């Protein structure tokens, strides 16, 4: 019985990513831009969908711009790794949370409806800090040559 | 002793004037296109959280060292130029007006349509929502239908001009969302409209 429950729990945990809805759309894609989803990397041209738990990666010549369902706009510059850790947005109440991690590189963003409804519902982590967004436009850089 | 104080001041000054973009991590608040300046709250591993709420205000984090400062627009451009260029266009919305009781644009709006189309076309993969509205002449049901008809007519025009139909959603709001509040059964040109929003 207990074993069956564990199996069920594991199965449901596995099933969730397959049901994940699109939370954003790649609107700008220049040079080498990839999305890593469930351990697989695929090219991310204009029109590619973005899901919660995706990791956006760019090469030395790459940059990409994404619109999210709450109208947040996020762009990444060259040599960047940006992971979407959490994203949910309720179109009726505008409640939600957006948590991302900038592992390296550059990010620019304009916050959307969820931050307007509840400040700091958008958070960006870097290797040594966490930033809460009260609005509206900001940039973040994480250098690679960190010792 | 005095020498030591001078040395200390020099170290402090060097830290203070050090260009923030040299630091391993940098956070900056930018003024929005409409001039609005927001705020970010940054909390490093050490030290209290800092609120940055002025245009081009920065916080640089280098290991345990945190320093607030400001950058110039040119410095931001130098570091974040290609990143900022990749930001998709901000959501925008446009309004066009219709002839009374019909799904025909007014001559002024017909002329204005070209400019709006150019703005929509400029975006690489637009998500467009066309919402139709009416004035308060007629029943709720009549106006619900008329507003949807206006939105669909607008979509057909945009498709004919070259926008992909699958990128355009339509909705009719009837007389439920008046731009200019009026009593029922009032002819009001400014309420006979479609709103085109694009993201």
Say what percent of chain A tops pLDDT 90.
76
Q: Check CB contact under 8 Å for A134 and B27.
A: no
Q: Do residues B39 and B110 both lie within one domain?
A: no
How far is the C-alpha of B157 from the C-alpha of B148, rounded, in Å?
14
Q: Do residues B22 and B105 both lie within one domain?
A: no
Using alpha carbons only, how large is chain B's radius of gyration in Å? 27
Paired tokens of A47: 């029109």
- Print burial letters for B71-101: b (CB count within 10 Å at least 16), e (below 16): beeebbeebbebbbebbbbbeeebbbbbeee
Residue A92 domain-assigned (yes or no)? yes
Residue A128 domain-assigned (yes or no)? yes
pLDDT at A40: 97
Q: Is B108 on the interface with A (CB under 8 A)?
A: no
CATH code at position B153: 3.30.1330.60
Q: Check CB contact under 8 Å for B87 and A28.
A: yes
Question: Which residue range is the domain that position A89 belongs to?
Answer: 21-142
Residues of A in contact with B125 (CB under 8 A): 25, 27, 46-47
- Continuous segment of H or E residues that includes residue B133: none
Task: Give the mean pLDDT per block of 10 residues along chain B (199 residues).
Answer: 64 55 80 89 88 96 90 95 90 93 96 93 86 96 97 97 93 95 97 94
pLDDT at B126: 87
pLDDT at B3: 64
> Which residue out of B40, B62, B123, B164 would a mutagenesis test of the A interface target, given it has the greatest number of A Cβ atoms within 10 Å?
B40
How far is the C-alpha of A49 from the C-alpha of A73, rounded, in Å?
14
Query: Do the beta carbons of residue B40 and residue A138 sit within 8 Å?
Result: yes
Residue A5 domain-assigned (yes or no)? no
**Residues with Cβ within 8 Å of residue A62, at least 6 apart in sequence:** A30, A31, A32, A33, A76, A78, A79, A80
Q: Check CB contact under 8 Å for B42 and A143.
A: no
pLDDT at B35: 83
Q: Is A143 on the interface with B (CB under 8 A)?
A: yes
How far is the C-alpha of A134 from the C-alpha of A73, rounded, in Å?
15
Q: What pTM was estimated for this model as a whole? A: 0.68
Q: Is B76 on the interface with A (CB under 8 A)?
A: yes
**Residues with Cβ within 8 Å of residue B148, at least 6 apart in sequence:** B132, B170, B171, B172
pLDDT at B12: 61
Residues of B in contact with A139 (CB under 8 A): 26-28, 30, 76, 79-80, 83-84
Of B38, B58, B85, which residue is a domain's last? Answer: B85
Q: Is B145 on the interface with A (CB under 8 A)?
A: no
Q: Check CB contact under 8 Å for A129 and B42.
A: yes
How far is the C-alpha of B149 from the C-alpha of A133, rounded, in Å?
41
**Count: domains in chain A:** 1
pLDDT at B21: 41
Q: Check CB contact under 8 Å for A130 and B127.
A: no
Q: Do residues B8 and B67 both lie within one domain?
A: yes
Low-confidence ranges of chain A (pLDDT < 70): 1-20, 145-147
pLDDT at B199: 80
Query: Do the beta carbons of residue B38 and residue B10 sit within 8 Å?
Result: no
Q: HSE (CB half, 13 Å, CA atoms) of B36?
A: 9
CA distances from B144 to B101, B156, B180 (A): 12, 18, 17
What ipTM describes this predicted complex?
0.84
Q: Check CB contact under 8 Å for B82 and A73.
A: no
Of B85, B113, B148, which residue is a domain's last? Answer: B85
A32/chain B closest Cα distance in angstroms: 13
> Which residue out of B28, B74, B88, B199 would a mutagenesis test of the A interface target, given it has the greatest number of A Cβ atoms within 10 Å?
B88
Torsion angle in degrees (nearest 10) through CA of B185, B186, B187, B190? -120
CATH code at position A126: 2.60.120
Query: Do the beta carbons of residue A75 and residue A65 sit within 8 Å?
Result: yes
pLDDT at B17: 53
Of B85, B117, B136, which residue is a domain's last? Answer: B85
pLDDT at A16: 43
B39/chain A closest Cα distance in angstroms: 5
Question: Which residue range is the domain that position B44 belongs to?
Answer: 2-85
């Amino acid at each position: 019985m207990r074993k069956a429950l564990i199996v069920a729990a594991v199965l449901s945990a596995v099933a969730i990513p397959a049901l994940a809805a699109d939370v954003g759309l790649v609107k700008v894609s220049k040079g080498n831009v990839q999305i890593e989803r469930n351990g697989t990397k695929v090219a991310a041209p204009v029109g590619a969908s973005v899901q919660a738990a995706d990791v956006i990666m760019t090469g030395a010549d790459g940059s990409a711009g994404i619109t999210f369902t709450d109208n947040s706009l996020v762009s990444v510059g060259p040599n960047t790794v940006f992971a979407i850790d959490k994203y949910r947005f309720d179109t009726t109440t505008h409640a939600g949370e957006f948590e991302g991690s900038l592992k390296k590189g550059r990010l620019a963003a304009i916050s959307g409806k969820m931050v307007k409804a509840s400040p700091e519902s958008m958070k960006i982590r870097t290797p040594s800090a966490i930033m809460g967004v009260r609005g509206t436009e900001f940039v973040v850089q994480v250098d690679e040559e960190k010792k | 002793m005095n020498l030591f104080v001078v040395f200390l001041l020099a170290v402090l000054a060097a830290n203070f004037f050090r260009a923030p973009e040299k630091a391993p991590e940098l956070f900056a608040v930018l003024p929005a296109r409409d001039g609005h300046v927001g705020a970010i709250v940054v909390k490093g591993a050490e030290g209290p959280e800092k609120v940055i709420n002025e245009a081009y205000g920065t916080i640089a984090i280098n290991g345990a060292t945190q320093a607030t400062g400001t950058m110039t627009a040119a410095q931001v451009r130098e570091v974040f130029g290609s990143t900022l260029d990749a930001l998709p266009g901000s959501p925008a919305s446009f309004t066009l007006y219709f002839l009374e009781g019909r799904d025909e644009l007014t001559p002024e709006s017909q002329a204005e349509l070209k400019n709006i189309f150019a703005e929509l076309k400029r975006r690489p993969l637009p998500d467009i929502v066309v919402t139709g509205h009416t004035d308060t002449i007629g029943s709720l049901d009549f106006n619900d239908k008329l507003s949807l008809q206006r939105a669909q007519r607008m979509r057909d025009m945009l498709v004919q001009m070259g926008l992909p139909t699958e990128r355009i959603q339509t909705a009719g709001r009837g007389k439920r969302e008046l731009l200019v509040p009026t009593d029922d059964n009032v002819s009001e040109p400014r309420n006979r409209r479609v709103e085109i929003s694009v993201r």
